[in-house]
Structure 1
Amino acid sequence: MPFGTKPGADGQPIDFNRVYLELIKPALEDAGFEVFRADEETRAGDIRTDMFQELLAADLVVADLTLDNPNVWYELGVRHALRARGVVLVQGPRSTSPFDIYTDRKLRYGVAAGAPDPATLAIDRAALAKMARETQNASTRRKVSPVYTLLPHLQQPRWQDLLLSGDNEFAQRYEAWRSRLEVAQQKHRAGDILVLAEETPVRALAVEARFQAGRALMRLPQFTFALEQFDAALAIDDEHLGSRQQRAVCLGRLRRTEEAREAALQLTEEHPQDPECWSLAGRVEKSAWIDRFREPGEPWTPGAFRDKAALEDALLAEAITPYRHAFATAPNHLFAGINALTLNTLRAHLGGEHDPAETDRLLAGLRWGIACALERKPKDYWARAAQAEVSLLCDSRAAVQRDWRAATAAAGRDWLALDSSRQQLQLLSGLGFRPEETALALGIVEGELRRLNPPFEPRQVLLFSGHIMDAPSRPEPRFPLAMEPAARAALEQALDRLGAGPEDIALTQGAAGGDLMFTEAALARGVKVVWMQPLPEPQFIESSVQRATNAEDWRLRYYAARAQLAEPPRSMAQELGPPPPGINVWERGNRWLLHTTLAYGPDKARCVVLWDGGGGDGPGGTRHMVEEIKRRTGRVQWIDTRRLPLA
């Protein structure tokens, strides 16, 4: 928009700073946006670089076309050229409408005495807020830019490609967020990813974060909770291909076969040249085939499923076709190729119709693809695993042993990758395929898995939230020291009712009062306790341990319990970075605890609270924790401090 006071179409001056401050900014804030104008940039540097970055990264751009200002038109053109949506046009009084956007929807606002017209200001604000919300919430299939509307096959750049070279504020915020997300992924901490997903600088990053959270949850595996993340991503961008693909995988793993099949079919129709979509369709059909002859959790006894699987030849054929199509579309897609070859070979093994020449063609193509992959990256586990599976299908026992040992060596202690290979070998074993060779390969993989530490899978996750012990200066007692004996006994009874033991994990902060008493009782029962603290530990001790009544005793108990923890306390500042502006660190800490608990699986969540029932309803508080756990599992044990006796 123009800055300062400029003559309008009738020659009368218009104060555009007042238009911004009285109309545009409050209207957008009412719609829930963080509002920024280019002249508010105070950092030293190239203002054009900062303006370009903000123009491309913003979720929404508002352009004021009251005047034919060349800078405004140029900036609007840049946005239209590189982003397909997220633009709102406004204009004050003018005698003509520019031809280029004559048909575009624009919000017209009133001006009187060179400023927003007081008679229409409230109406104009409400209309702009409504227009902004509708633009933001509109389907991503609805394109605002005339460039993308007129060129339907033009693809807008990925948001990662819209990061400018050089130093600018948005790039710094993005890089800090991205590096924290990457660390959370490497540590397989879906709870961390879920918190970061709520704190993304722009909506485009929120889509990516929800997608990555879903992927992390699938690896746990928590398919119901993962499905929620993909749905959340698609609520923002209903065309996000990765989320659509993984959503279909989740549906298949949850045995919602028809929904998964329909989702996969739609993807192949919309993206007929995308091998990943075809491979996904094969995966859905493969899971449906397996579900027909084996119940979930049923052990893979060698040869036990051969006869039942042989009766499902039609479903097996339905799985082979999309895998084969994916491999034909992209011969470097080894996952599709090895599945097409393996299922084709199994079909012959089970007595179904098959074309030996087709198997030979798949084998030849796959050998070439694997050789190329290993030439590029000799330690690529998935290429090594594909080579090992090829050997199991058709090579000698010696080759099977050699290639599976090479594959496990390339895994680099990746337990989840090896477990994926084990599942494929268990399928071959259960169908009685080459029993000796399959047993040999399975023994190699399982032997390597035994040498690694599998991801800890708790039986139940005990989330504690409760009051800190009152400080001596607290005017109205809430949790006085005299209540400690009764509270401690109630906590022990709650853990006994839950059968808490070494197979469980407990999450809390470690503050004086409820946290420490809960920790002590859980440790006494062999529970793995993890402290997740919203502040760096020295600050946390100062604010949440040292200020309680009888502080020195609590400090000693804190360090005694800390020495028994399986790992040092996790610091939110270190794991997630500083909170975004306006985010309360304590509420953020509670959300961190809640998301980490749910990431293990909502069905495992057990909440214990030492609470007087008060507090607000905002996200992150004890009330929010209780309501969220109740909504998902109903497993909450509430110790009401109002009913506890004093010693």
Structure 2
Amino acid sequence: MSQIRPHAFVAMPFGKKTGPDGKTWVDFDVVWKKLLKPALERAGFEAFRADEERRPGDIRSDMFQELLAADLVLADLTIPNPNVWYELGVRHALRDRGVVLVYGALPSGESAKAFDVYTDRKLRYGLADDGGPDLVTLKATLEALVGMLKESRHSSTRRKVSPVYQLLPHLRPPEWRSLLLGTDNESSATYRSWMNSLKTARRRMLAGDVMVLADETPVRALAVEGHCAAGNALLALDQCALALEQFDRALEIDPDALAVKQKRLVCLGRLGRMDEARSEAEELVAEHPDDAESWALLGRLEKMRWLAAWRRYINAPSIDTATAGLELLGRAIKIYRRGFLIDPRSHYAGINALTLMYLHRHLVEQAEVSEYIDQGLTGMQDLADLRGAVRYAIDSVLSAQSDDYWALASRAELILLHENQDIVRKAWCKAVPAADHDWFAIDSSLQTVQLLQELQFRPDEVAIARDILDSELKQCVPPVQSDRVFLFTGHMMDRNDRAKPRFPPKMAAAVAERISTVLDHWRAGSGDLAFSQAAAGGDIIFLEACRARGVRCQVLLPFDEPKFVKESIAPSLNVPGEEGWRDRWLALKPDLGLPIRLMPVELGDPPGKINAYERCNLWLLDSALAHGPEKLHFIALWDGQSGDGPGGTAHLKAEVDRRTSCVEWIDTRTL
């Protein structure tokens, strides 16, 4: 669940203004403090009013930024205030949804008449004689407004509330990130900081970091991008089930996001949910018949169906299975070709169509079923024509970016289909350096070459390409693989000032024994990975037990190390007869197996009012999950009670319980 509350901008008059009857006064500051702000906060919004901005600068820049990026605009139309109407108009022009209207009515019932939003749903609140909200009806009004705000927050993104977009159905909201103002204001600064952290984590393939940041988007409009980035990072780690969760969360926000739907198809295919994937792919090309990428994805699914049929034939040869496979292969070719014809810049669809056409001819000849040759599909002239078109598409990409690995790999694959061995060697030797030791990119190309080798297509030339890719893959750093992933949370050893004992020093030996028993039961060893903080008590005991078994330990700290030692290690009581907790930590540090990671350095400071300990708990969990939910083994040293503050053992256990049943609870009350 997202920790960042959605952001609401309030467009309303400030101070005391003449009421809608032109005689009495309305105190809008009181309306704000007693009604609007409490309602927004209860509905889960971070409320902001323009007069609360204390930073120097142009107030218009900040106002435009708020109207553009805010998740919700709450407009008070009690009086015909030109600033409020202007701000409402800007919002209606920039965004098609996310507006709630309210207005105040005097005891006489008189209120302002807003002709151009007369039919819009508005909430009426009562005004008292003193200009504030009517105290008699305030509680009911507050409840009604909270409900209205929550409804707006959770309503379908397809429901447009802006009259501009209702009356102009083909108008599309602008890509708001492209409209970020060049001036340095709070919104743009927050966005840049978040985006820089996200890019860094994505580049380093730290899926756990990306998952945390995806839940910390500055505004809801960025959440699609954040969850999509997390999904892509998890896909690269082959964690398709987790990636699918992220893409589904993005689609909950924007059900029409085409790129997210396409990524979801990739996940379904890799998870083996082929019938579901094909149905959704066919629906996607029906909705977007001019989108080359959608056709290419459908082609990929048909290619996978053909491969499954062909492998059945290899294992149990029969003419029926062979010809069925050829028909599926022909369908995949036609779909890829259609995608390429729709957009000749799509060299991915083009090279796949071309490679499958060559394989079609090759397999027909191998199986000696020449009557299944589709001369309109794999004739020599067809091959030559498509080969020229694909080469042109690839060269167009390379003319703009000469080191584009995927274009260079497509060109090398094209050359592999028909050129001699020397040219094949030169093409692949030129392509692989552009991958910059990207294990995932090289492995993807290797899978294609392995398929050609499996089908005995041009064996001498294919062997050259495979040798080059194999050699390069050995120079790349593969994703970290672990047999099991252990995640620990537990109480600190009691501090000197703790009134009621929870983890006294006399319990240390029993805790160490229980942790060792659990790790031995799960056969912890050198192929495993452990995640934990490093507080005195449970954390350090766990880390010591893991290192004694050769488990690599990844320590994540919520602060810089000096602050963490001061707050979470130094104040705890030491175990009689043993070296102090600080000394045990200093002895453990050099032997963890992995570098310590500090949250402020890796993720930046916690945004908004997020507690650092809670954030670190989620960082630990997401980092562990990124290695595969099925590998997660959780150990909690816990007394079953709520902690002394936020971000304790109870918090992490509750989060873990939603993700795995492989939980070992060491109840300190039984020790």
The equivalent position to 2:16 in structure 1, one of 5, 20, 23, is 5
CA contact (8 A) 1:605 1:629 kept: no
- 2:338 is equivalent to residue 325 of structure 1: yes
Q: Provide the C-alpha distance between the structure 2 equivalents of 1:267 and 1:120, rounded to a whole number of angstroms.
A: 51
2:622 corresponds to: 595
Paired amino acid for 2:125: Y
Paired amino acid for 1:35: A
Q: Provide the C-alpha distance between the structure 2 equivalents of 1:95 and 1:542, rounded to a whole number of angstroms.
A: 60
Paired amino acid for 1:288: R
2:368 corresponds to: none
CA contact (8 A) 2:78 2:112 kept: no
1:441 corresponds to: 465
Q: Provide the C-alpha distance between the structure 1 equivalents of 2:644 and 2:219, rounded to a whole number of angstroms.
A: 26
1:358 corresponds to: 382
Paired amino acid for 1:334: H
1:287 corresponds to: 304
Paired amino acid for 2:47: V
Aligned pairs for 1:217-616 (under 5 A) are 217-294=234-311, 311-351=324-364, 352=372, 353=374, 354-356=377-379, 357-550=381-574, 553-615=580-642
Q: Provide the C-alpha distance between the structure 2 equivalents of 1:136 and 1:314, rounded to a whole number of angstroms.
A: 50
- 2:194 is equivalent to residue 167 of structure 1: no
> What is the deviation of 1:331?
1.6
* More displaced stretch, 328-337 vs 208-217: 328-337
2:85 corresponds to: 73
* More displaced stretch, 629-638 vs 583-592: 629-638
- 2:145 is equivalent to residue 112 of structure 1: no
- Deviation digits for residues 45-77 of structure 1, max 9, x if unmatched? 111111111111100001122222221121111
- Deviation digits for residues 324-350 of structure 1, max 9, x if unmatched? 222112222121111111122222222
> What is the deviation of 1:631?
4.2
Paired amino acid for 1:582: K
- 2:16 is equivalent to residue 35 of structure 1: no
> What is the deviation of 1:542?
1.3
The CA RMSD over aligned residues, in Å, is 2.3
Q: Provide the C-alpha distance between the structure 2 equivalents of 1:624 and 1:510, rounded to a whole number of angstroms.
A: 17
State the SS of the aligned residue for 2:252: helix
> What is the deviation of 1:611?
2.0
Structure 2 CA distance for partners of 1:429 and 1:178, relative to 1, 3 Å:
same
2:9 corresponds to: none
Paired amino acid for 1:461: V
- 2:161 is equivalent to residue 144 of structure 1: yes
CA contact (8 A) 1:304 1:432 kept: no
CA contact (8 A) 1:533 1:572 kept: yes
> What is the deviation of 1:188?
0.8
1:14 corresponds to: 26
- Deviation digits for residues 310-336 of structure 1, max 9, x if unmatched? 532233233223322221122221211
Paired amino acid for 2:63: M
> What is the deviation of 1:504?
0.9
* More displaced stretch, 111-120 vs 442-451: 111-120
CA contact (8 A) 1:109 1:116 kept: yes
Q: Provide the C-alpha distance between the structure 1 equivalents of 2:524 and 2:587, rounded to a whole number of angstroms.
A: 21
CA contact (8 A) 2:43 2:149 kept: yes
Q: Provide the C-alpha distance between the structure 2 equivalents of 1:470 and 1:478, rounded to a whole number of angstroms.
A: 7
1:634 corresponds to: 661
- 2:50 is equivalent to residue 50 of structure 1: no
2:221 corresponds to: 204
Q: Provide the C-alpha distance between the structure 2 equivalents of 1:623 and 1:344, rounded to a whole number of angstroms.
A: 59
Structure 2 CA distance for partners of 1:610 and 1:380, relative to 1, 3 Å:
same
CA contact (8 A) 1:310 1:350 kept: no
CA contact (8 A) 1:140 1:239 kept: no
* More displaced stretch, 87-96 vs 305-314: 305-314
* More displaced stretch, 317-326 vs 558-567: 317-326
State the SS of the aligned residue for 2:465: helix
Aligned pairs for 1:124-135 (under 5 A) are 124-135=141-152
2:116 corresponds to: 100
State the SS of the aligned residue for 1:606: strand
Q: Give the TM-score normalised by structure 2.
A: 0.91
- Deviation digits for residues 228-281 of structure 1, max 9, x if unmatched? 111111112222222211112111111111221222222222222222222222
- Deviation digits for residues 523-549 of structure 1, max 9, x if unmatched? 122111111111111111111221122
> What is the deviation of 1:92?
2.3
* More displaced stretch, 224-233 vs 19-28: 19-28
Q: Provide the C-alpha distance between the structure 1 equivalents of 2:387 and 2:95, rounded to a whole number of angstroms.
A: 44
2:204 corresponds to: 187
Q: Provide the C-alpha distance between the structure 2 equivalents of 1:18 and 1:333, rounded to a whole number of angstroms.
A: 59
State the SS of the aligned residue for 2:535: coil
> What is the deviation of 1:116?
1.5
> What is the deviation of 1:159?
2.6
- Deviation digits for residues 168-226 of structure 1, max 9, x if unmatched? 01111111111111111111111111111222211111221111111111111111111
State the SS of the aligned residue for 1:213: helix
Q: Provide the C-alpha distance between the structure 1 equivalents of 2:645 and 2:238, rounded to a whole number of angstroms.
A: 30
> What is the deviation of 1:96?
6.3
> What is the deviation of 1:619?
8.6
Q: Provide the C-alpha distance between the structure 1 equivalents of 2:642 and 2:650, rounded to a whole number of angstroms.
A: 7
Structure 2 CA distance for partners of 1:448 and 1:309, relative to 1, 3 Å:
farther
Structure 2 CA distance for partners of 1:319 and 1:620, relative to 1, 3 Å:
farther
Structure 2 CA distance for partners of 1:306 and 1:247, relative to 1, 3 Å:
farther
> What is the deviation of 1:618?
10
CA contact (8 A) 1:309 1:431 kept: no
Q: Provide the C-alpha distance between the structure 2 equivalents of 1:136 and 1:294, rounded to a whole number of angstroms.
A: 50
> What is the deviation of 1:291?
3.9
CA contact (8 A) 1:306 1:430 kept: no
> What is the deviation of 1:164?
1.0
Q: Provide the C-alpha distance between the structure 2 equivalents of 1:483 and 1:304, rounded to a whole number of angstroms.
A: 67
Paired amino acid for 1:142: R
Q: Give the TM-score normalised by structure 1.
A: 0.94
State the SS of the aligned residue for 2:100: strand
CA contact (8 A) 1:252 1:288 kept: no
CA contact (8 A) 2:491 2:503 kept: yes
State the SS of the aligned residue for 1:350: helix
CA contact (8 A) 1:57 1:162 kept: no
CA contact (8 A) 1:534 1:572 kept: yes
Structure 2 CA distance for partners of 1:306 and 1:459, relative to 1, 3 Å:
farther
* More displaced stretch, 348-357 vs 358-367: 348-357
Q: Provide the C-alpha distance between the structure 1 equivalents of 2:356 and 2:467, rounded to a whole number of angstroms.
A: 22
State the SS of the aligned residue for 2:580: helix
CA contact (8 A) 2:613 2:646 kept: no
